Structure 1
Amino acid sequence: MNAVAGRAEKDTGRPVIARAHGTFSSFVVLASLGTGAAAAAAWPLAVPFLGVAVLSVTAGTAMLARLPPPQVAHADHTPLATSSPPGRLGVLPLLPLGALGALAFASENAHQSWSAVFAQDELHAGAGLTTVAPAVFAGTVAITRFATGQLKATHAQTIILAGSLAAAGGSLIIAAAPTLLVATLGLVTAGAGTAVLFPGLLGIMSRNVEESYRGRATSVITTVSYLGFLLGPVYVGLWADATGLRGAMTAVAALAGALFLLTSPLLRLSGSTGKGTCRARTSDIESR
């Protein structure tokens, strides 16, 4: 899906990646509130899952029906920018982007998965209010992604740096929050920060890779990035076990801080300046 979004963005010049991820976050809001309502109504746990299954099949069928035919690969494989050093695999410059994406997703899913637990265990919010926490976070992410989708690729590095600082600050606010209202302000700040991170990184790559290798290049970045999405909640759980949930939120802030410190050097290592240039050769990606 990320590869399809990248192809559409390159073909149309419109911010498809950011909007696609914004739509994802919008449905997280609906799922959070809908699941809370189902729980309050004492419906069987299978009901929300059945609803998600129906929507997923419907959306997947609609997307497949609208996909244009695949483009034919060109015979010549011109380097995107400066060629990679001899003997260096073309996938290697993409790994630093994936590592940054992993930090971004770890922070995002940490809040998405643990904010309701934090609201209940640390702030003693009622069952109805706990589902509001992930909904507020995901709603902020969605609004930010729709609002920032038009920003130019030349500002990608600045946006990622600003986003990581906001994500760190929001996590610290949550860690120290005495009330649900203060924690909500922290979730809004962290959500706005994390919203711009992965779409920005994916956009840098997607705008500068040949169509015939978009899927392979996207898979390298997203596979590494989604490891962070999977491990983020586990990371919080380990820290919560050792230091409590407030200490775990501080550890989440450290993830965003690491992202801020590593963005510039890892973008340089990948051959990207944040302006959408990448040194990965499409011919090397093909051989991989």
Structure 2
Amino acid sequence: MPAVRAQAGLTDGELGTALLFVGAGALPAMLATGRAVDRWGLRVTALLLGALGVVGTLVAAFGRDIWSLSAGLALLGASSGAADVAINAAAGSAERNSGRPVITRAHGVFSAMVVAGSLATGLLSGLGLPLLVPFLLVAVAAAGAALSVLADGRAAAGVTEDGGGGTGTGRAVRLLPLLVVGGLGALAFATENAHQSWGAVYLADVADAGPALAAVGPAVFAGVVALTRFAAGSIGSRHAATVLVAGSVTAAAGTALVSVATAVPAVLTGLALAAAGTAVLFPTLAGVVAAHVDDTARGRATSVVTTVAYLGFLAGPVYVGRWADATGLPGAMVAVAALAAVLAALAWPALRAVHTGPSWHLEAAGDAGRPGQVSGRLS
């Protein structure tokens, strides 16, 4: 990011403005992707993976001022958000059809690649290579992933056993349970991204860590998230409420430890605890969606849940910043711990309501409305 800022000649404030376009591009793309996934399945996922690599390279090559960078980041946000929905839908379909814990482990691979990508980018930067090089490598990796998806397109969202696409006219899905699960996801993402975005700043400003040591914070957080997701992958969605409560309580405890810590080891310990807690939250919620929605509507359901949850991802860093202005960073961490505590309190009754309530699908002719739609009707 410093290299991108320098290439475009931006101030910190201008960079912050440009970064808003990531979310501006992501949200509408996430909502629009579900129908395409339900109709064309893994072919859409492969296309979006390829597009993500290409757009990232274009941002690196042509982001020379705030206008070109903002436009590029909007496209990057759109392709990234759309790919996120498509991958989660495909993972949910694979988990439901195979009975294996795919979703949490897929999120674990993502977290592991974040760590690997960060380390590789730092190494390439240290070698003095141009900004374009790491983006080109990511584009090559994305193209390889897209080809592998196309080569194995059987049990995907919207894809039939013979590899063909769905009809796009699957059963309607009730909107309320999707909003409930998405709201829980927003709390989870807000807590997680608060630490990812502010961990290094907290280490530098409160624990007096130097730049190199402060950079360890986000790496520790992402590494613990990856390890926890791999370790917890076998739990599945059958114990979703228990996992959510335990994860939220752990995240709240870790964040509370960060809020009172002034030494680097104590802050890192709190970050590790918070990471272990937040790691299981959204994958568990994605598993709940996978268990309740069939393949004909999985993309649309995933779009709604992921988009609502992503609002929390965007709000988390801003939430910390506002509280930090008012109370200081330790007080802001108390506010983040409160988010995790609210999630712990809501998880059990919310999931009980969506589990014991009406079917997520509208099956009766009088209830279904237009086929293939996410419906707001509750009965």
- Could you state the TM-score of these two structures normalised by the residue count of structure 2? 0.66
Cα distance change on mapping 1:282 and 1:37 into 2, 3 Å: farther
1:209 corresponds, among 256, 281, 293, to 293
Instruction: Please state whether the residue corresponding to 1:116 is helix, strand or coil.
Output: helix
Match of 2:176 among 66, 89, 92: 92
Partner SS, residue 296 of structure 2: helix
Among 356, 359, 375, the residue aligned to 1:279: 359
Shift of 1:282: 5.0
Segment drifting more, 126-135 vs 37-46 = 37-46
- Say whether residues 1:200 and 2:200 are aligned partners: no
Change (3 A) 1:237 1:32: farther
Please say if residues 170 and 296 of structure 2, whose CA atoms lie closer than 8 Å, have aligned partners that are also in contact.
no
Deviation at 1:76, TM superposition (A): 9.3
Gaps of 5+ in 1: 80-88
User: CA, structure 1 residues 136+75, in 2 after alignment: closer, same or farther (shift >3 Å)?
Assistant: closer
Task: In structure 1, give the amino acid aligned to 2:296.
Answer: S
Is 1:115 the counterpart of 2:199? The answer is yes
1:109–1:61 Cα change, 3 Å: farther
AA matched with 1:2: N
Partner of 1:153, secondary structure, is coil
1:241 equivalent to 2:325? Answer yes
Letter in 2 for 1:225: A
| 1:1-288 paired onto structure 2 within 5 Å | 1-37=87-123, 47-68=133-154, 70-71=159-160, 72=166, 90-269=174-353, 271-272=354-355, 279-283=359-363, 284=368, 286-288=372-374
- The residue type equivalent to 1:136 in the other structure is V
Q: Point out where structure 2 has 5 or more consecutive residues left out of the alignment.
A: 1-86, 161-165, 375-379
The alpha carbon displacement at 1:168 in A equals 0.4
Structure number with greater Rg is 2
Please report how far the alpha carbon of residue 37 of structure 1 lies from its aligned counterpart in structure 2 after TM superposition: 4.2
Cα displacement string for residues 93-150 of structure 1 (whole angstroms, at most 9, x for unaligned residues): 2110000001001111111111111112222222222221111111111111111111
State which drifts further: 122-131 or 198-207.
122-131
* Contact 1:165/1:256 (8 A) holds in 2: yes
Q: Is the 8 A contact 1:30 1:135 kept in 2?
A: no
RCO comparison, higher one (Cα < 8 Å, 6+): 1
Count of aligned positions: 274
Question: Does structure 2 retain, via aligned residues, the 8 Å contact 1:164–1:260?
Answer: yes
Contact 1:110 1:236 in 2 (8 A): yes
- Percent identity between the two aligned chains: 51
Report what 1:83 is aligned to: none
Query: Residue 208 of structure 1: CA displacement?
Result: 2.4
Please tell me the residue identity of whatever aligns with 2:360: A
Residue 48 (structure 1) shift: 4.4
CA RMSD, 1 decimal: 2.5
Cα-to-partner distance string for 1:205-262 (whole Å, 9 max, x where unaligned): 1022111111111111111111111211111122122222111111110110110111
The amino acid that maps onto 1:249 is M
Name the counterpart of 1:86.
none
